[in-house]
Structure 1
């Protein structure tokens, strides 16, 4: 049988707290095996699963999205390179959309973001009479709408 890790070893390897690992186990994102003494043991591949959770959350994936992707991985064996490549392919476009939103935020946040606030001097130029507000709520230009005449 593959080398198994205690929950403490898994915590040390991932940087997660033991309670966080238990939380993710409770959500079904990792599964432990139990010893005769009812102690948790984890596959080494769970390091990668937990690392995916951490990275996924840092790049803006919701826990539901992460759960959906991890559900596609096999249980009882370490995921293969091909398993991970399938996940990467599925989330690729969504990550590109998030990157584009972050870049727009970075580039527009110091100026007008088309929120309809009319509080900045440039709003009179870019969002006259709150045209951006007609397209819907929120920061319209940041969400990808273009100012009239742009």
Structure 2
């Protein structure tokens, strides 16, 4: 069995008049994330980690922000399609460990639903997905509430 590890990182700016989507869940907030798709920073980091682990480049390579078909797309579709690419290459998901850095809104109440939604999309057990939330203690762009960042590490097997 071949075991591989991947790391993903993504960041999007917070802007008014956009919905906030994180981990496939719409979260009530005064601002949302700016992007070509729904800008789900957590799912994007996970997609990059999965693709990186399989040595399949990155999310922008497979789903470019210059392509009209991805305008405002639900990132859960990108996550599903990413996992299909890995399955087609003979990989299965071992686990995901992800962290979201955001000063506001508080994310802990939403984590169980994020895990459930992504487990359904990926067709894995909810126990295979770990999501943590942190602040940056008011430091940097996340601390100033200018954006949200996400980090993800995945283990895949062939």
- Structure with the larger strand share: 2
TM-score, normalised relative to structure 2: 0.27
Higher relative contact order (CA 8 A, sep 6+): 2
- Structure with the larger helix share: 1
